[in-house]
Homo-oligomer: A and B are copies of this chain.
Amino acid sequence: MKEWEKNIRRVIPYVPGEQPAVEKMVKLNTNENPYPPAPGVARVLHELNADTLRFYPDPTISLLVEELARFYGLGRDQVFVGVGSDDVLATAFLTFFNSELPVLFPDITYSFYPVWCQLYRIPYKTQPLDENFRIVREDYYRENGGIILANPNAPTSIYEKLELIDDIVSHNKDSIVIVDEAYIDFADGPSAIELIRKHDNLVIVQTFSKARSMAGMRIGYAMGNPELIKALNDVKYSINSYTLNQTAILAGVEAVKDEAYFRENIKRIVDTRERFEESLRALGFSFPKPAANFVFATHREIPAISIFKALRENNIFVRYFDMPRIDNYLRITIGTDEEMDILTSSLRRIIENYK
């Protein structure tokens, strides 16, 4: 080993869901939205004056911050915007988790959390979900250096009631609690945004990648009390002053403005999910009540890995995690009705052939 190689930070990076380049595939593996973004997004890009691209974008991203603040009924100083919710969460880990005590999160949750801890050398301790993949609130009553909870959780798709979040935050007045609400728009319960007024140590993170159909534009945001938002911005300005490019800022504003399209988009996906739940049950699958744009399902007879591989052979991509406790489950993104019908037919054939 050369001497300079010793100075390199060695990490085990997060592995994103594959982006296969297959024609005519059914892609239900990365929780993308099957419908296009709001029409205003296309318009603003098609009308863009490209000459303005020679200028740096607004480092405060004020147009989009204002639009989000208006949408959620918050102050402009209560909203932080970043390059997707992963960027926002990474910045939040770096900014808020600076204790010697371990950060707490469930054993089964978004697999990026331990990656950020390792990268930034943040001590952490996972707390096991119960046998139904539910959060055990008492596990978060102990001393800690911060807490992060995904709600709805991934990959389980389970939504925990606001009362549980409120209770955990109330028991942790000495640390910062982050609630990762990437999938909240598909849940049948409220966001924890309403708890921001009550708790000054609470940060909510959301994204444009799911309900707003803009994974390709990379926009995420955090909401919380002005002191927390300022701390996030200070760290952001210490990494990269200009994060969102001009197209993302303009497109993001259009997406937030069109609330009718947003509601309609969510309704279509929830309707499809409910229809698909029926089909899955009929085929012998069971799953926690889904509250996101995906279902986390296990079959009573056939191992998940076998189904996963058989679907791949039919150019249908779902997500399989080879990890303890969940290695017999598939995470299936909700696509269009047509895509779910193709998947259902394929699953029926796989199950019949298995017998």
When the two chains form their complex, are residues B7 and A176 in contact, meaning their CB atoms are under 8 A apart?
A: yes
> Closest CB-CB distance, A20 to chain B, in whole Å?
11
> Closest CB-CB distance, A90 to chain B, in whole Å?
5
The 4 tightest CB contacts between A and B, nearest first, are: A13-B237, A42-B50, A3-B174, A53-B216
Of A29-37, A159-167, A181-189, A340-348, the one contacting chain B is: A29-37
When the two chains form their complex, are residues B55 and A216 in contact, meaning their CB atoms are under 8 A apart?
A: yes
Check A83/B86 contact, CB under 8 A, given A3-B174, A216-B53.
Answer: no
> Closest CB-CB distance, A153 to chain B, in whole Å?
20
When the two chains form their complex, are residues B52 and A216 in contact, meaning their CB atoms are under 8 A apart?
A: yes
Judge if A48 is at the interface, Cβ distance under 8 Å.
Answer: yes
When the two chains form their complex, are residues B54 and A34 in contact, meaning their CB atoms are under 8 A apart?
A: yes
Check A8/B246 contact, CB under 8 A, given A53-B214, A238-B118.
Answer: no
Judge if A278 is at the interface, Cβ distance under 8 Å.
Answer: no
Judge if A127 is at the interface, Cβ distance under 8 Å.
Answer: no
Judge if A290 is at the interface, Cβ distance under 8 Å.
Answer: no
Please name all residues of chain B whose beta carbon is closer than 8 Å to the beta carbon of A353 when the two chains form the complex.
none
Extra 4 A-B pairs, beta carbons < 8 Å, given A13-B236, A53-B213, A115-B238: A32-B54, A42-B50, A45-B45, A53-B214
When the two chains form their complex, are residues B54 and A37 in contact, meaning their CB atoms are under 8 A apart?
A: yes
> Given the complex of chains A and B, what is the CA–CA distance between A216 and B55 in angstroms?
5
> Closest CB-CB distance, A120 to chain B, in whole Å?
9
Say how many copies of this protein the assembly contains.
Answer: 2
Q: Return 12 A-B CB contacts under 8 Å, by A number.
A: A7-B145, A9-B235, A19-B56, A27-B55, A34-B54, A45-B50, A45-B247, A54-B214, A56-B209, A57-B218, A90-B239, A218-B242
Check A247/B54 contact, CB under 8 A, given A8-B231, A83-B83, A235-B11.
Answer: no
Please name all residues of chain B whose beta carbon is closer than 8 Å to the beta carbon of A3 when the two chains form the complex.
173-175
Judge if A116 is at the interface, Cβ distance under 8 Å.
Answer: yes
Judge if A155 is at the interface, Cβ distance under 8 Å.
Answer: no
CB-nearest residue of chain B to A220: B240
> Given the complex of chains A and B, what is the CA–CA distance between A138 and B17 in angstroms?
49
CB-nearest residue of chain B to A37: B53
> Closest CB-CB distance, A355 to chain B, in whole Å?
36
Please name all residues of chain B whose beta carbon is closer than 8 Å to the beta carbon of A35 when the two chains form the complex.
54
Q: Please, what's the 1-or-0 string for A1-45, where 1 marks a CB less than 8 Å from any CB in chain B?
A: 011111111111111100100000001001011111100011001
> Closest CB-CB distance, A278 to chain B, in whole Å?
25
> Given the complex of chains A and B, what is the CA–CA distance between A46 and B43 in angstroms?
9
CB-nearest residue of chain B to A233: B13
> Given the complex of chains A and B, what is the CA–CA distance between A82 and B45 in angstroms?
22
Please name all residues of chain B whose beta carbon is closer than 8 Å to the beta carbon of A54 when the two chains form the complex.
32-37, 213-216
> Given the complex of chains A and B, what is the CA–CA distance between A91 and B201 in angstroms?
29
Check A240/B90 contact, CB under 8 A, given A95-B9, A96-B8, A175-B4.
Answer: yes
When the two chains form their complex, are residues B36 and A53 in contact, meaning their CB atoms are under 8 A apart?
A: yes
A224-240 contacts to B, CB under 8 A, are 227-228, 231, 233-240
Judge if A272 is at the interface, Cβ distance under 8 Å.
Answer: no
Q: Please, what's the 1-or-0 string for A119-160, where 1 marks a CB less than 8 Å from any CB in chain B?
A: 100000000000000000000000001100000000000000
Judge if A109 is at the interface, Cβ distance under 8 Å.
Answer: no
> Given the complex of chains A and B, what is the CA–CA distance between A12 and B10 in angstroms?
27
Interchain CB contact (< 8 A) of A50 among B15, B27, B36, B116: B36
Which of A84, A200, A216, A248 has the most chain B CB atoms inside 10 A of its CB?
Answer: A216
